[in-house]
Structure 1
């Protein structure tokens, strides 16, 4: 048991959708771990319920939201901001390991960054492992196309598939919980999906979130330098670049456009249990309506699509994010090529590695598609057909994509 807080305190961050089994996991850790834990419960309106469940069977002495459990552990309801809570715990309490249960409607990456960026928190704590608990049957249903996935709740109207993708993509360890409700084939499918979204994540099938505490509390799986580089779509993009190089010159498609991938990255398999990926790049903009139609008709076999699209008649970089049945587009900001010359030159001088085309500047489409048993040739052909033709170059377009920085538009919803 730790007697002081002069050294860095290890932290395990647990995420998962509502009902996945996070609280059951906390109870399991509290009853079976061979160390003293501090448990920070933060579940957006579920705090009181979760704190009561975590403390079930324990004597409580609640003071300012911090509950001393009979086994010497601590349960803290997040009544103020996270930073204040964890600093207070480190200063006032003695424990071996901090477990943070992030909100069921939030992603773990922002919580992890609090512990890794330059702050008073980072000086006190060291992130050990990012854990996502999946309700495995619900996870499979969210990507099956059968029925409508549930929403996350009133705080966020994005569908369940969005949440699940974001939580899995930044995980080091994924518990395939409720495995007893799944066939062997279903568990294999769930593992395939997890590895497609985050190739390096460890997966453990569990029933009632029962797992060896050392797999979560002393695993040392987290690398602070890679918290933004874990998703499978980024790996696929990097693989395409490594294999073919950014500056490869391509032939011309039927519309006369230069495409520096993918023909430049013809098929980039991630070959993880049958899951494959490919990267599509183009230096010609999309026709807004034809591209929106393509996104609305993405086959269910595509689990994840992510990247940046060049949309005709707007100078905004549009981020595309598809997760199962959900597709959203967000205006990230203007293309550097669209800025006034002085500002453009300043940006370019500060980014010497920025890929720049003589005619189009930084304007380009770069999209990653991940899935199983999809027809890549058909998807590529439809993307080609969605590009603006030479005859349409001077046409004014109106479409569903966002045109103001920060604006988000739902292209397809369950």
Structure 2
């Protein structure tokens, strides 16, 4: 009997709002491989899992903390379940781990490397070209980005359409200083926006996620100073809508948030001009916000994310369906407004 080949594992990292989920959707849309997906969200509700459009894919979600700070046994049990193929027993061709935006992706890869049935294919870290230089210089979050970039096999610049040539060069120089010697690819402006999936298509066309020779994987980076402690450096707050919300009040609430809120994401039933609610994806990075219709999943149902966090590996109808919605806010520790104030602010957007 021929021994089964190890399953390649790609770790997809990057700071909050860099475009990880959009890239993952672009890969899944190809439909040429059977993927096992693990999605880790820092908040108590895994919003990213609700935004993944799946085709012949098994997905496991981990919530309420950063994978690189959590118990290794839980993560390895989840990876084992993915590698075994679930109920049908058919192993995936590849496993992709989408880390939380504050995770150390190299640490996640080191945990996955403990599994004998898995082979680390590479650590790919996305960087928002419009925000990377400023974030690297930020005293609260800069260290997190430096760690992510320096320990990557490949850095992919997204959102290059939001910067001019000088801004792109500034971002590249800042990242190169933080991660000397790590390969970096800037996607063309016409395919850079993670909102339209063009970036993911460009990456797929360029050969997928395999890191080029000479990158961190080839250099065998040591397991040094794993004291990331994202759970201590960042905090999150979650809100469930449990009914339709008013678009104008929602935008007013987002605009009123203090600059210390780094990321807002969620799916809410937003009432349109006719008063009928529609499942709407809410994305806010820094001061940039965007509302878009929730895309229908491909050949599967959306994960059950309304209410308490879902049990490991379970999916079903939930957020974005039947008037259910949720938001997650993420900030550096101490930068979030008090929970009662946030509760009052967002309760007021309900119809």
TM-score by length of 2: 0.51
Q: 1:188 to 1:114 in 2, by over 3 A?
A: same
Within the candidate set 151, 154, 169, 1:188 is matched to 169
In the TM superposition, what is the alpha-carbon distance from 1:49 to its structure 2 partner? Answer: 1.2
Higher relative contact order (CA 8 A, sep 6+): 2
Aligned to 1:139: 132
The DSSP-based 3-state class of the residue aligned with 1:110 is helix
Aligned to 2:203: 212
Deviations 1:251-304 (A, max 9, x none): xxxxxxxxxxxxxxxxxxxxxxxxxxxxxxxxxxxxxxxxxxxxxxxxxxxxxx
Deviations 1:300-338 (A, max 9, x none): xxxxxxxxxxxxxxxxxxxxxxxxxxxxxxxxxxxxxxx
Q: 1:202 to 1:34 in 2, by over 3 A?
A: farther
Q: Does 1:110 align with 2:92?
A: no
The DSSP-based 3-state class of the residue aligned with 2:166 is helix
In the TM superposition, what is the alpha-carbon distance from 1:75 to its structure 2 partner? Answer: 2.0
Distance in 1 (CA, whole Å) between partners of 2:151 and 2:37 is: 21
Q: In the comparison of the two structures, how many residue pairs are matched?
A: 198
The DSSP-based 3-state class of the residue aligned with 1:54 is coil
In the TM superposition, what is the alpha-carbon distance from 1:135 to its structure 2 partner? Answer: 1.8
Q: 1:115 to 1:140 in 2, by over 3 A?
A: same
Distance in 2 (CA, whole Å) between partners of 1:195 and 1:91 is: 39
Distance in 1 (CA, whole Å) between partners of 2:7 and 2:18 is: 27
Distance in 2 (CA, whole Å) between partners of 1:24 and 1:226 is: 29
Q: Does 1:87 align with 2:80?
A: yes
Q: Does 1:171 align with 2:144?
A: no
Q: 1:102 to 1:143 in 2, by over 3 A?
A: closer
Specify every segment of 5 or more residues in structure 2 that has no aligned partner in the other structure, as ranges: 64-72, 225-351
Aligned to 2:23: 25
The DSSP-based 3-state class of the residue aligned with 2:222 is coil
Distance in 2 (CA, whole Å) between partners of 1:99 and 1:47 is: 20
Q: 1:185 to 1:229 in 2, by over 3 A?
A: farther
Within the candidate set 214, 220, 223, 1:226 is matched to 220
In the TM superposition, what is the alpha-carbon distance from 1:183 to its structure 2 partner? Answer: 0.8
Aligned to 2:40: 42
TM-score by length of 1: 0.44
Task: Kindly report structure 1 stretches of 4+ aligned residues shifted beyond 6 Å.
Answer: none
> Contact 2:160–2:186 (CA<8 Å) still a contact in 1?
no
Within the candidate set 79, 84, 93, 1:96 is matched to 93
> Contact 2:124–2:209 (CA<8 Å) still a contact in 1?
no
